[in-house]
A and B are shown apart, each in its own frame.
Chain A
Amino acid sequence: MTVQPLDALGVAPHDADILRMSHIRMKFGAVEVLKDVNLTLRRKEIVGLLGANGSGKSTLIKVLAGFNSPEPNSVVRLWGETLPLPLDAARIRQMGVAFVHQHLALVPSLSVIDNMLISDTTRRPYGIRWRAEKRKIQALLDEFGLAIDPTATVETLSPVERAFVAIVRAFAELRRSDAGRAGEGILVLDEPTPFLSVEDVEKLFGVLREIKKTGASVIIVTHDIDEVLSLTDRVAVMRDGRLAAMMQTDQTTRQEILDTIVGRATSAYVRAPRTVPGVPNVSIKGLSGGRCVQFDAEIKTGEIIGVSGLIGSGFADIPYLLFGAAQGAGQISIGDSVLEVAGLPPAKAHEAGIALLPGDRMGQGGVGSLSVAENATFLALPRMKGPFGISQAKMTAGTQALIVAHDVRPANPQADLGNLSGGNQQKVLLGKWLAEKPKLLCLDEPTQGVDYGARQQIFKALDDAAAEGMSIIVASTDHEQLAQLCDRVVVFRRGEPALTLSGQDVTKDKIARACLASDIPQSEQPMEVSA
């Protein structure tokens, strides 16, 4: 094994290292998503892993979990043992690495005991002795001062209590592992905090500090710099598939971390200047629902507005609220009609000229087991009528036109939608809605899982639609996409708009900073209307 001498990133080997990942390279097809990443973790240490979306931190965690196997010559050493490639997920867990994912993997309708036992593979030759199990779990919860009833159903617990159950379960798994016998272990948390309140986050960190005291180490993936500063010993920052820096938390500042995440290079892409001679088109008043507490906006014809923020900050609910797809309240004025969001059926929103392209393409956008033609023409069926009802010929012709206009591949109207790539699925679904010529088009993460070429085509289609007078609202955490598309970007924090960027300020870096920073310049008025 080659070990680099002391390097600038602070990842030089240390005697107390229990995990060393070195020269990790990972490719998806031709795209290299991890480019020679080095990461170390010591005994009794909490490391924060930060980075923008797409920086490679999730991929790195998946490598550690053994789900993604890295390129040859990548080295993963756990407790001094170099693991053979491809990595074996079960072996890694057995050695003492446990994971808590954002969605916690709990079954809400079952009890805490049931959920705790699911990952416990200890042999029980006489069956489960429920009273003993309950005592054991109670003792474990007491160890961390958690007042959770082991017999309670998970769905009756608060969000933070559910997170505790998942964390304690992972900790119990560590104790049973090989490393656990020496009191060690690695607990990996993937963004556990977005849906928790400030007080709950503090409680959660209390538990993590307790876990550290037992001799275990923690890697926490997060977006929140303040959380990292209050909890961690070291901070690892990923950027563009590389480890951009490894810093001692007590020797760094939030500004330094922020600069490292965003990077100094500014994005080269300059959006073509758009003249917005538009007239007022859509007016949104007092919109609330889900995690969105309050949102007002005036959108002109031909204007593209972005809404963004950290995960859980409420912006993601906006497209669904506007279309009546989620429960909420507020008022939308569009054209001649005024819609009450409370109890708004999607059919009525559609009639009023609102369209929604949801983020979950195959769960909400289209039906994968039906053909491209059937999906593409579903809204247009009233225009597809022939003398004997719906005309198959018109459906095929309409779909052919859409396929040509949006360059859908394969160019086969009879192919099942589910067999197309993500980008082509999205082009079909977008084309379907654009053909309805809505006044307001709402999009949620329109290019998630979409390849580069399709992404540019989708941007162009949206740009063209806006040029014809459509108002568009895009919810996304992809800052580059927002910078390329939007005239204005509203950044959310804790359910409310905190800052609006417009004109020259709509850049990838500025959006990223606005999302990550918690100190808002006082001079900025929330939701100012662009002049």
Chain B
Amino acid sequence: MTAQTTIASSAFLQRNWAKDAERFALLGAWAILIAIFAFAVPDTFFTWRTFSSMFGSQAVLVVLSLAILVPLTAGDFDLSAANVLVFSAMLVAVTNVQLGFPIGISIVLAIAVGAFIGAINAAFILYFRIHSLIITLGVGTFLQGLTLWMSQSQTISGISMGLVEMVVINRLFGIPLAFYYGLALALVMWWVLEYTIAGRKLLFVGRGREVARLNGVKVDRVRMLSLVASSTLAAIAGVLYAGMTGSADPNSGTTLLLPAFAAAFLGATTLYPGRFNPLGTLLSVYFLITGITGLTMLGADAFVQSLFYGGALVVAVSLSQLVRGRQPQSFG
């Protein structure tokens, strides 16, 4: 009995060691990346200005990635998130600049509309039992049409400086406030997912809908709330997006969708391997932007962004699969 226990516990320790290595691999890779660029381009890369700019500029992507993380954990895809982001930014611009609403009202309106779009997604997905990929693709495309219509395909600038100040101009320790919004959201979501019953239910719904149902979870309600949360957070990301430049452009934000998914999946290989997790996602976003910034400073062209996003995702997820013996992963 004692011998058995010892063997079991030593095997347990070994496994733990491999697990820890996997957990912190991305963190290590990030450190190595920083070291390489600090060595290669010390004067431009390894400065506080570069880091504060990287931290500040990626807040929108952080919030968007965290938004889609909620339904991903519950086993649903939200492809409309980037379109919600652009729509919400445009709504802020149109109501604030063209209709002259106070900026506070514009923001509240944009977030409320975001929540409403999430409810529409959920209604179609859950009532008609259609896969979330299809509905959110359709709703997202529809929203893009609305955005172009609403803006006459023009960039609308001149959004109240109050918002811009709260997002990029005001700084704490030299980093724009936007960074702290993303950080705070990641911490709150981490706490909700790990330390509340709601978070546990979300996880069970994603991993086994039938298991969750037979353990008394109201599965449809959980899925609905996850989709509403996703669109609401995407709308908040849209408000930040508008605040970044004080303007809204009807097209550019839609390209954030794939990087957001890349960050969510890459985040699932780290800190809590095998699980979508907010802190891992935050880490992934900054790992990716570090690589891109460094390569750009080394003289790479704009295409390096896509190369790095795509390449890093495939390589990281494959390595993580090697560590876990190539078992099929169930990402919800």
Contacts and interface: CB of A to CB of B under 8 A. Distances in A.
A351 B217 CA distance: 11
Q: Which of B195, B217, B218, B274 has the most CB of A within 10 A?
A: B195
Q: Which 10 A-B pairs have CB atoms at the shortest separation, nearest pair first?
A: A389-B195, A350-B216, A347-B216, A367-B207, A367-B208, A381-B197, A390-B195, A364-B210, A369-B330, A389-B196
B48 interface: no
Given A323-B214, A356-B214, A389-B191, 15 more contacts: A325-B214, A345-B218, A347-B217, A365-B211, A366-B211, A367-B204, A369-B274, A369-B330, A374-B200, A379-B216, A381-B197, A389-B196, A390-B195, A390-B200, A412-B12
Mostly, the B contact residues are helix
Contacts of B196: 389-390
A356 B211 CA distance: 11
B216 A370 contact: no
A398 to B, nearest CB: 14
Contacts of B215: 346, 350, 378-379
Interface in A328-371: 345-347, 349-351, 356, 358, 363-367, 369-370
Contacts of B207: 367, 369-370
Interface residues of B, number: 24
A345 to B, nearest CB: 7
Interface residues of A, number: 28
A154 B250 CA distance: 48
9 contacts: A323-B214, A346-B216, A363-B208, A363-B211, A367-B208, A369-B274, A374-B203, A389-B191, A390-B194
A382 interface: yes
Interface string B205-241: 0011011011111100000000000000000000000
B302 interface: no
A231 B317 CA distance: 57
B197 A390 contact: yes
Given A412-B8, A412-B12, A388 B214 contact: no
A412 B13 CA distance: 11
A350 B212 CA distance: 12
Contacts of A410: 8, 12
B8 A325 contact: no
A514 B196 CA distance: 50
A325 B216 contact: no
A411 interface: yes
Nearest to B8: A410
Contacts of A347: 216-218
Nearest to B9: A412
B210 A363 contact: yes
Given A325-B213, A346-B213, A369-B207, A378 B200 contact: yes
A417 to B, nearest CB: 10
A428 B312 CA distance: 39
Contacts of A389: 191, 194-196
A411 B274 contact: no
Contacts of A374: 200, 203
Nearest to B200: A381
Nearest to A411: B8
B208 A388 contact: no
Contacts of B203: 370, 374
A350 B217 CA distance: 10
A370 B208 CA distance: 10
A435 to B, nearest CB: 13
Contacts of A366: 208, 211
Contacts of A390: 194-197, 200
A345 B217 CA distance: 9
A347 B203 CA distance: 17
Contacts of B191: 388-389
Interface string A401-417: 00000000011100000
Contacts of A364: 208, 210-211, 214
